[in-house]
Each structure stands twice: as structure tokens, then as C-alpha cells.
């Protein structure tokens, strides 16, 4: 998505102080998905956006869905720490785009690629970029100006990229450099990349193991020929269906990560890599970003609203966070080192629209809950009135802990060793009238967790019940965040809340 095309009209609304008009046409039945993370905009715009979101949520009942940002895999880069929004991380899809490389010795290797346009299934000479380097080139990297046009013309060029080159030489840059120099294709050796970019000439990305075998062929073969089969876009759809072989999703490298203070970010994850998207001119492109994941969740929210018209935005958020999951496979987070994904990568997990329609229990947050939350983190009456357009009287303030905001997750960022923290939550039964739920704790390592009211019994008169979760640690070391969960089950529904805890020995800015 082009940022400037969206930024201008929103800037106009905000900078002219007309945030109310922006939300004027919206109502409780509406979903607003904002695909641009506010971390890249001016401070004034960030504040104005926060105002409009609170106003929209409190006065209009609009459900807000936001992209968490594309600044991953660095921690603490999640953009939207607002409890009234649904923030979305990006995952890969469960499909691949394999491309066969057949060498002149009839050996075939596999890489991945996205190319458009029709090409002939012909053999061409394969040569390394170091052998077609321009006289004035400072390196043999496949960058504009580095390749000798006379030596490159009509050939397929083998290029190599290091992890440090990723911002200056990916497969798109390499293929353009080869195309400009007259080449007809490119093979790029590079570190793993979860994003596949489209090329204007046949291109294929390979890992270093495959690259070593291809390069060895280049330097040893006397007649170097290469076969590259590329499909046009309409045929790529067939390939897309056939090669549905990956068993798990991965969190995209670029997807921003938590933690983010008391508000866990992101909330959920959705596919956001290699998404076939409509672009101006009636065309389609494969695009990647959390701005591609966000519309998936916006659509699911609209689906939920169509079935459950009386659900509040917080109820919808709760259903999405609590009812996630794939087929039981693990989800990994891509980055410098691949690891199992945790709450800072995917929040509750990968969205599951079918399960979200029937969550069993929900954690509903009211307008009063948000007021008390803002009070508890230091907002004064005037600030809250500006945010909400509602006159606030401090006499209405109650004794309220920010940890008790009725979110579908539990986060305790500062659990001092030897001390107990008690968190309160309230669930609403929207499943079978006469239901009995039992709670099961998966405690983070080194943390003792107990539930007061470990069994919840609902009937025709009791539809809402509260419970307390106690967290304790006797660890004497200053630690990092650890992850666990609380799951309620009635034998039919599994209602899972992520738990995130950090044990501290003292207040430390470096660990915030």
C-alpha cells in the first residue's frame, strides 16, 4: 500500500482538528482497519489518532483493527499499545513457490521465485557475476553499473548476497541489474527470506548449500547451460494450489514485536507474506507487510459482526485472541535465529474465524473499565475528557489496578521476587446456558500461579463470573519475560488466555 496516498487525507482531518468528522459516518456495525502504523508519523498525528480511536470506540462502538508495524524482528517495536484496538502481526502463508533449476549435466535443484510475464523454456549460458564484472566496478555484486553489458547479454547470471547486503541487494535489485545489462535471468544465493519479490526477468532465490553446488558447476563445466521454467500469473495460480505442502506458519521477519508495557502487543497474527493483492489499473501483485495481514482480521471482524450483531468491540477482540490456532503445528518466529513464537510475536496466535464465532467465554471491557484504566496509568480528568469527548469527574475514580483491565490476556511486567500479585478477570458465558468450565494453568518457568474459583458454573441467571489469578515467584535473579497460559474448558470449548510475566529484583530501565 502506498503510504502517501492514505496519509494526506488523514493528515488533513487531524491537523485541522476535525477528528470527530472522520468518525461521523461510522457506527457500532462498522469496522475500521488502519494499515499504517503511527510510529512513522509525527507526534501530533500519533496523538490525534489516539484521540479519534478512543472517541470512536467509546462514543460510536466502532471496532478498530491496526497493523502492528513492519519494524521486526527487533523487540519493543509494536506500534499500537491501545487496549481498545486489535493489533495484527504478520505470518507467512502455508504455501511455497518452488522453481526448478536444471543444469546442463541434467542435475535439478530447487529454489523459490515469483516472476511475471512469459518466457521460453530454453537453455542459456550460466555465468557468475565475478566473470562479467565491469572494468570500473568496485565489487562483483549484482548492482546497477557493476556488470559488463557485452559479457552479460543473453546470459543468466549467478549472484551472491550476504545477510549484510539484504537492504541493498535482494533478488529484485539483482534481477534489475542483470536485465539492464542485457541478461535474461538470475540465480541469487542469499540468506533465508520469508518474502518473495517479483522480478521482471526469470529469477530464483537459493540457499547457500544449493548455491555452492551451482557455483561448482559453473567453474567446472565446459559447456554451461541452464534451464529455467517460469509460469505466467494465471498459471502461477495452478502452481499455488499444487504446492500446498508446508505444515506450519512462520511469523514474518519484518513483523514488529512486543513487549509494550501493560498492553500486550500484538493481539493476534494473520497471513501477511506473499498476499495476492489488487493494485491500481486492474492488476494484481504479490505484496507483504502487516498491512496485508490487517485486512484479513478486518474481514473476520466483519464476519463476526454479521453473526453476533450485539457484540462489543472488546468482545470481538476477546473472541479472536482466545480462539486461535492452526492444526496443532508449532508456529516459528523468523529473525536472526528462528525460534518458537511467543506472545510478543503473535499475541494469542493465528486467527481462526470459525472458532472465533463460538468462543464459549469472552472477556468484555466496558467504557467504565477504560476510564479507570486511564486513571490508573496517570491520566487526569482533563486529558481523559479530551480523549473521549465525555466529561469526566475524578470523584468517579475507583481503586483500580491497571493489571485488572479485563483483557483476554494477563501481563505482569514487574513481579518482584517474594511478592504476590493478584489479577482479577471477569468472563461472560455466551455458549450453552448450563455450562461448567474448569481452569488449567500452564505456568511460566519459575512462576507459581493459582486460580481462585478454579471452577466456573453458569446457568440461566448466572452469566458473568469473576475469578482471581495469583502469581508468585521466589526467584532471586532479575529476569526476562516468560510465557504461559490459562485455559478454561467445558469439554467443548478451549478458552486460552496468554500469560506473560517478568520477575524483577529491582526497577531497571534497560529491561523495560
84 shares a domain with 117: no
Average of per-residue pLDDT across 89-94: 89
What CATH code is carried by the domain that includes residue 167? 3.50.30.30
Reported confidence tier of residue 20, pLDDT bands at 50, 70, 90: very low
What is the phi/psi pair of residue 440, to 5°? -125, 125
What CATH code is carried by the domain that includes residue 336? 3.40.50.200
Task: Give the domain range for residue 500.
Answer: 360-365+406-511
- Higher-confidence residue of 222 and 71: namely 71
User: According to the model, what pLDDT value does residue 3 have?
Assistant: 40
Does the pLDDT of residue 154 top 80, yes or no?
yes
490 shares a domain with 455: yes
Q: How many domains does the chain have?
A: 3
What CATH code is carried by the domain that includes residue 420? 2.60.40.2310
Q: How many CB atoms lie within 10 A of CB 477?
A: 10
Domain annotation covers residue 375: no
280 shares a domain with 166: no
Reported confidence tier of residue 315, pLDDT bands at 50, 70, 90: very high
Residue 313: name the closest of 38, 37, 29 by CA.
Answer: 29
Residue 415: name the closest of 361, 362, 482 by CA.
Answer: 482
CA 407 to chain centre: 19
User: According to the model, what pLDDT value does residue 166 have?
Assistant: 55
32 shares a domain with 77: yes
Query: Given 159, 192, 226, which residue is the final one in a domain?
Result: 226
Does the pLDDT of residue 152 top 90, yes or no?
yes
Domain annotation covers residue 336: yes
Q: How many CB atoms lie within 10 A of CB 332?
A: 17
- Higher-confidence residue of 102 and 221: namely 102
Reported confidence tier of residue 369, pLDDT bands at 50, 70, 90: confident
Domain annotation covers residue 23: yes
Reported confidence tier of residue 435, pLDDT bands at 50, 70, 90: very high
Query: Given 171, 196, 226, which residue is the final one in a domain?
Result: 226
Query: Given 194, 226, 258, which residue is the final one in a domain?
Result: 226
269 shares a domain with 172: no
Domain annotation covers residue 282: yes
398-428 tens-digit pLDDT: 678 889 999 999 999 889 888 899 999 999 9
138 shares a domain with 38: no
Q: Are 82 and 52 in contact (CB under 8 A)?
A: no
Rounded Cα distance, 83 and 403, in Å: 12
Average of per-residue pLDDT across 260-271: 86
111 shares a domain with 89: no
Lowest mean pLDDT segment, chosen from 69-73, 271-275, 453-457, 474-478: 474-478
User: According to the model, what pLDDT value does residue 306 have?
Assistant: 92
20 shares a domain with 119: no
User: According to the model, what pLDDT value does residue 236 have?
Assistant: 29
- Work out whether strand 98-103 and strand 108-112 pair parallel, antiparallel, or are unpaired: antiparallel
pTM of the prediction? 0.80
126 shares a domain with 83: no
Average of per-residue pLDDT across 429-458: 94
Q: Are 365 and 83 in contact (CB under 8 A)?
A: yes
115 shares a domain with 72: no
Does the pLDDT of residue 13 top 50, yes or no?
no
CA distances from 18 to 34, 51, 162 (A): 18, 11, 48
Rounded Cα distance, 387 and 367, in Å: 13
Does the pLDDT of residue 292 top 80, yes or no?
yes
34-83 tens-digit pLDDT: 665 544 444 434 444 454 555 555 556 788 888 999 998 888 888 756 78
Domain annotation covers residue 110: yes
User: According to the model, what pLDDT value does residue 380 have?
Assistant: 63
Rounded Cα distance, 99 and 206, in Å: 10
Average pLDDT, the chain: 78
What's the start-to-end Cα distance of the chain, in Å?
A: 32
425 shares a domain with 317: no
443 shares a domain with 326: no
User: According to the model, what pLDDT value does residue 321 have?
Assistant: 94
Domain annotation covers residue 231: no
Residue 115: name the closest of 131, 98, 132 by CA.
Answer: 98
Does the pLDDT of residue 397 top 50, yes or no?
yes
Q: How many CB atoms lie within 10 A of CB 227?
A: 17
Amino acid at each position: 500500500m502506498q503510504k502517501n496516498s492514505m496519509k494526506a487525507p488523514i493528515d488533513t482531518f487531524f491537523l485541522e482538528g476535525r477528528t470527530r468528522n472522520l468518525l461521523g459516518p461510522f457506527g457500532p456495525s462498522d469496522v475500521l482497519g488502519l494499515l499504517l502504523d503511527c510510529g512513522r508519523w509525527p507526534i501530533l498525528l500519533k496523538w490525534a489518532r489516539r484521540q479519534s480511536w478512543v472517541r470512536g470506540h467509546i462514543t460510536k462502538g466502532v471496532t478498530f483493527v491496526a497493523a502492528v508495524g513492519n519494524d521486526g524482528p527487533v523487540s519493543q517495536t509494536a506500534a499500537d499499545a491501545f487496549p481498545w484496538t486489535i493489533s495484527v502481526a504478520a505470518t507467512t502463508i502455508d504455501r511455497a513457490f518452488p522453481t526448478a533449476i536444471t543444469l546442463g549435466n541434467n542435475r535439478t535443484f530447487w529454489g523459490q521465485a515469483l516472476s511475471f510475464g512469459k518466457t521460453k523454456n530454453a537453455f542459456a549460458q550460466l555465468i557468475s557475476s565475478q566473470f562479467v564484472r565491469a572494468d570500473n566496478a568496485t565489487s562483483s555484486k549484482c548492482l546497477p553499473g557493476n556488470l559488463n553489458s557485452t559479457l552479460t547479454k543473453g546470459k543468466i547470471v549467478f549472484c551472491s548476497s550476504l545477510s549484510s547486503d539484504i537492504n541493498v541487494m535482494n533478488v529484485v535489485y539483482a534481477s534489475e541489474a542483470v536485465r539492464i545489462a542485457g541478461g535474461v535471468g538470475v540465480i541469487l544465493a542469499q540468506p533465508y527470506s520469508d518474502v518473495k519479490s517479483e522480478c521482471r526477468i526469470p529469477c530464483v532465490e537459493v540457499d547457500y548449500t544449493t548455491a555452492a553446488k551451482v557455483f561448482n558447476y559453473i567453474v567446472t563445466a565446459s559447456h554451461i547451460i541452464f534451464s529455467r521454467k517460469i509460469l505466467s500469473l494465471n498459471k502461477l495460480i495452478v502452481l499455488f494450489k499444487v504446492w500446498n505442502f508446508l505444515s506450519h506458519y512462520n511469523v514474518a521477519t519484518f513483523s514488529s514485536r512486543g513487549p509494550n508495557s501493560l498492553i500486550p502487543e500484538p493481539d493476534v497474527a494473520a497471513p501477511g507474506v506473499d498476499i495476492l493483492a489488487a493494485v491500481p489499473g486492474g492488476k494484481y501483485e504479490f505484496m507483504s507487510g502487516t498491512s496485508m495481514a490487517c485486512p484479513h482480521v478486518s474481514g473476520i471482524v466483519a464476519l463476526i459482526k454479521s453473526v453476533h450483531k450485539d457484540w462489543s468491540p472488546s468482545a470481538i477482540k476477546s473472541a479472536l485472541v482466545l480462539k486461535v490456532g492452526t492444526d496443532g503445528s508449532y508456529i516459528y518466529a523468523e529473525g536472526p535465529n528462528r525460534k518458537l513464537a511467543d506472545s510478543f510475536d503473535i499475541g494469542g496466535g493465528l486467527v481462526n474465524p470459525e472458532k472465533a464465532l463460538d468462543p464459549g467465554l469472552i472477556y468484555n471491557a466496558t467504557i467504565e473499565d477504560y476510564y479507570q484504566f486511564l486513571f490508573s496509568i496517570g491520566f487526569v480528568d482533563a486529558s481523559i475528557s479530551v480523549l473521549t469527548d465525555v466529561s469526566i469527574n475524578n470523584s468517579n475514580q475507583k481503586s483500580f489496578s491497571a493489571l485488572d483491565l479485563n483483557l483476554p490476556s494477563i501481563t505482569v511486567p514487574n513481579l518482584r521476587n517474594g511478592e504476590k500479585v493478584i489479577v482479577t478477570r471477569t468472563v461472560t458465558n455466551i455458549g450453552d446456558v448450563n455450562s461448567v468450565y474448569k481452569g488449567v494453568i500452564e505456568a511460566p518457568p519459575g512462576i507459581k500461579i493459582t486460580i481462585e474459583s478454579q471452577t466456573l458454573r453458569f446457568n440461566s441467571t448466572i452469566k458473568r463470573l469473576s475469578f482471581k489469578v495469583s502469581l508468585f515467584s521466589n526467584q532471586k535473579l532479575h529476569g526476562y519475560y516468560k510465557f504461559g497460559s490459562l485455559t478454561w474448558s467445558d469439554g467443548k470449548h478451549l478458552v486460552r488466555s496468554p500469560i506473560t510475566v517478568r520477575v524483577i529484583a529491582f526497577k531497571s530501565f534497560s529491561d523495560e
